[in-house]
Amino acid sequence: MEFSAMTMNMFFPDYEDPAEDHRIIEMAAKQSVWFAELGYHPWFTDHHLRGPWHSNPLQFAAYVVPMLPPDRFIGFGVLSIPFYHPLRLVESMNLLDQLTKGKTLFGLGSGWQGSEAEALGMDGEYHASGRAAEDTLDVMQRLWAFRTGDSEYSFAVGFNKGRIKRRVMPAPYRMPHPTIIRTASRDSGLIRAAQKGWPAFLGIFGANLQQQTQLYRRALADARHPPEVVETCLRWCSYDWQSVTLAPTDEEARAREMRAHADRDAIRARYYQRHGQIYGPMPNRK
């Protein structure tokens, strides 16, 4: 079992001065290095209109990576793939995969509705249904598989479209594509991830971890992947979120947990009061 730690600095309601952005970005970078030095794999998230670096986590990660111990992986939980042009996203993922020699874990999902999707011009219904993420990922798979000399490939997904005649450059460090960890809140999505040979996020939003693990393992065995694919899947299947409080006694740990929850809720309440609710309904992820 391996442990990761998420660098997340999205809720700063008291720091609206743009002059504070640099301080928060530097703080997030130092926090990521600190996590890595403690033995964790640093992970980053992808959000817009809050947190001065979350809107471009790939670029932020490229800045942080040279400061990390060489045996650490980095991860994304998750990249909201409908918000990207699929060709640009594949290019960016491949480049970071090359720069880290395959030590990047790309969690991929729909992302949240609400102000983010609106700001990026997404069709709310298309995004919420989960189709935007699935369609984008289908195009990305075609782009990773495309080779110079293949018949021209045209695509259109959401408001993005394109046509390619040559392979995408650079190629990923890991073939046939970088390490993908797919969000899969439904059984059908979990089975599809196993059939594709992708690790998956398990236990999302309170799903039964034991049942999901058993279902994924059965589907993975039925798919009859090569041993190295199975090894990668089992190594990088990730539990979605786990909050842990440490203290000398159980009583003190519970007290710290209650204080932490209260502090978090107060920070979010102040943020919502100033900026409004940031999340719309949860997308219907597949």
pLDDT at 280 over 60: no
Would 206 be classed as within a structural domain? no
Would 193 be classed as within a structural domain? no
Would 203 be classed as within a structural domain? no
Q: Provide the 8-state DSSP code for 23.
A: H
Would 259 be classed as within a structural domain? yes
pLDDT at 249 over 60: yes
Nearest to 178 by CA among 95, 68, 65: 95
Confidence class of residue 20 from pLDDT cuts 50, 70 and 90?
confident
For residue range 49-65, what is the model confidence (pLDDT) as tens digits?
A: 878 888 999 999 999 99
For residue range 151-169, what is the model confidence (pLDDT) as tens digits?
A: 999 999 999 999 999 999 9
DSSP string, 217-281: HHHHHHHT--HHHHHHHHHH-EES-------SSHHHHHHHHHHHHHHHHHHHHHHHHHH-----S
Q: Report the pLDDT value the prediction gives residue 56, as an integer from 0 to 100.
A: 95
For residue range 169-189, what is the model confidence (pLDDT) as tens digits?
A: 999 999 999 999 998 877 888
Is pLDDT larger for residue 284 or for residue 145?
145
- List alpha helices for 120-249, DSSP H: 124-128, 131-145, 187-196, 209-223, 227-236
Mean pLDDT of 266-282: 63
Q: Report the pLDDT value the prediction gives residue 128, as an integer from 0 to 100.
A: 82
Q: Report the pLDDT value the prediction gives residue 264, as an integer from 0 to 100.
A: 73
CA angle 122, 125, 126 (to 5 degrees): 65
pLDDT at 244 over 70: yes
Per the document, the length of the chain is 286
The residue type at 76: F
CATH of the domain at 44: 3.20.20.30
Would 281 be classed as within a structural domain? no
User: What is the domain extent for residue 36?
Assistant: 4-183+243-275
How many domains in the chain? 1
Would 210 be classed as within a structural domain? no
Would 271 be classed as within a structural domain? yes
Q: Report the pLDDT value the prediction gives residue 13, as an integer from 0 to 100.
A: 55
pTM over 0.75: yes
Q: Report the pLDDT value the prediction gives residue 124, as an integer from 0 to 100.
A: 81
CA distance 128 to 278: 15
For residue range 114-153, what is the model confidence (pLDDT) as tens digits?
A: 778 888 888 888 888 889 999 999 999 999 999 999 999 9
pLDDT at 274 over 80: no
Q: Report the pLDDT value the prediction gives residue 184, as an integer from 0 to 100.
A: 81
How many CA atoms within 13 Å lie on the side-chain side of 148?
Answer: 6
Pick the range with the lowest mean pLDDT from 90-99, 158-167, 261-270. Answer: 261-270
pLDDT at 78 over 50: yes
Q: Tell me whether strands 153-157 and 160-164 are parallel, antiparallel or unpaired.
A: antiparallel
Would 108 be classed as within a structural domain? yes
